[in-house]
Amino acid sequence: MTPDAAEPFLPTEGTEVLENLAFDLAREASELSGRLHPVVRQSVAELVRSMNCYYSNLIEGHNTHPRDIDRALAEDYESDPQRRDMQREARAHIEVQRLIDAQATAPHPPASRQFIEWVHREFCVRLPDSLLVATNPDTQEQLPVVPGALRTREVVVGRHVAPPAVGLPAFLARFEQAYDASRLSKPRQAIAIAAAHHRLLWIHPFLDGNGRVTRLMSHAMLRDLGVGSALWSVSRGLARRSTDYKQLLMAADEARRGDLDGRGALSQSALVAFCRFFLECCLDQVRFMRELLEPAELQRRVERYARDEEDAGRLPRRSLPVLREALIAGELDRGRVPDLLDVSERSARRVIAELVAQRLLVSDSHKAPLRLGFPIDVVERWFPRLYP
């Protein structure tokens, strides 16, 4: 089998609707990042990475509770081995995305073999040995998963027979060439990201971990294009429409359906349908996060939460002005808090200490400026519908 078996890598017909979606995505994504103070934006990015991990795991059938993910980031692991392994898997995903967001992989482009192998390696080296095993569904043979190593076995995924292991280098070389951003217009680059998502899963380069590697690659490609950011996650959109996602992936595996279905070995119309679905999910998630991060509405939700918690005695009085200032200004010097609250330094320290204890405020040291924190306990109040 040669790389021609995966053609077309990019659709050439029926792309007008895809280009329109690409234009809308670029325009609306550019409006998202400027809505928050840069310091607050960094904190929101950490929250969204956890959310992205949650939904990516959910697609794989691993329902790791957001609270367990939050605990894993604090190195607070379950005693139960299976739940502990899921926590470590979640932390691995978040750490690799953090590296991607910090552009730790430059100069390798996201569609390159080097990048794809790097993502797999960085993800797998963080996993416990119990998760580095793939089971042959026919023989039940336990196969070791080597971090960053292309598979050396043949695999069948559902009805799809993946390319032979010996041909993987050639397929990945063609993959990198097809999705070389320097050769594509901006709208075509967005379409390429959607098409590459399917085609990498079709190639299935690793024994295990292909889904997570592909979604992290898509995240990196979106960032490189300038429409993706740490403030939104396509995985949330894919997971919320998981049945459609999997059905459209399988449909795009199918052979060409006749002379009116492109000129490649695979169905062009099915690839167009998947690309449309993928770009619609991206656009939907940008719009969702834009609404969620609208500054006036976010401030209103934080203020309502603070008032309710003060009234219930779960937060000290005068917490609201401190939280509001941290949200608006991004950072708050500790020395300003007594004047802000019109209280003594001792009283101000007591308010700060309680807010830090509840992780509503975070700081790099006991003298560093304070910034807003997003503990899991407030996520539903401050960011409704972020999780199911």
* Percent helix, percent strand, percent coil in the chain, to nearest 5: 60, 5, 35
pLDDT at 307: 96
Q: Tell me which residue range forms the domain holding 342.
A: 295-382
Domain boundary among 292, 322, 347: 292
Indicate the helix (H) or strand (E) that contains 97: helix 81-101
Inside any domain, residue 109? yes
Q: How far apart are CA 303 and CA 373, in angstroms?
A: 14
Inside any domain, residue 231? yes
Cβ atoms 206, 134 nearer than 8 A: no
Query: Per-10-residue mean pLDDT for the chain, 388 residues long?
Result: 93 92 93 82 91 93 90 92 94 95 80 96 96 83 93 89 95 97 93 97 96 96 92 94 96 88 90 97 96 94 96 94 94 93 92 95 90 92 93
pLDDT at 206: 97
Are 324 and 190 in the same domain?
Answer: no
Q: Give the other-Cβ count within 10 Å of 250's Cβ.
A: 16
Distance from CA of residue 47 to its chain's centroid? 11
**252-291: per-residue pLDDT in tens?**
999 988 878 888 899 999 999 999 999 999 999 999 999 9
Q: What amino acid occupies position 196?
A: A
Domain boundary among 275, 292, 309: 292
pLDDT at 104: 62
Cβ atoms 77, 133 nearer than 8 A: no
If one counts the domains in the chain, the total is 2
Are 95 and 213 in the same domain?
Answer: yes
Are 117 and 251 in the same domain?
Answer: yes
pTM for this model (two decimals): 0.93
Are 287 and 333 in the same domain?
Answer: no
pLDDT at 140: 80
Are 54 and 127 in the same domain?
Answer: yes
Written as six digits, the tokens of 260 are: 């009116």
pLDDT at 168: 97
| DSSP conformation letters of 275-291 | HHHHHHHHHHHHHHHHH
Domain boundary among 263, 292, 321: 292
Q: What is the CATH number of the domain that holds 303?
A: 1.10.10.10
Are 206 and 346 in the same domain?
Answer: no
pLDDT at 113: 97
Written as six digits, the tokens of 297 are: 């509405």
pLDDT at 99: 94
Q: What is the CATH number of the domain that holds 42?
A: 1.10.3290.10
**64-83: per-residue pLDDT in tens?**
899 999 999 989 999 999 99
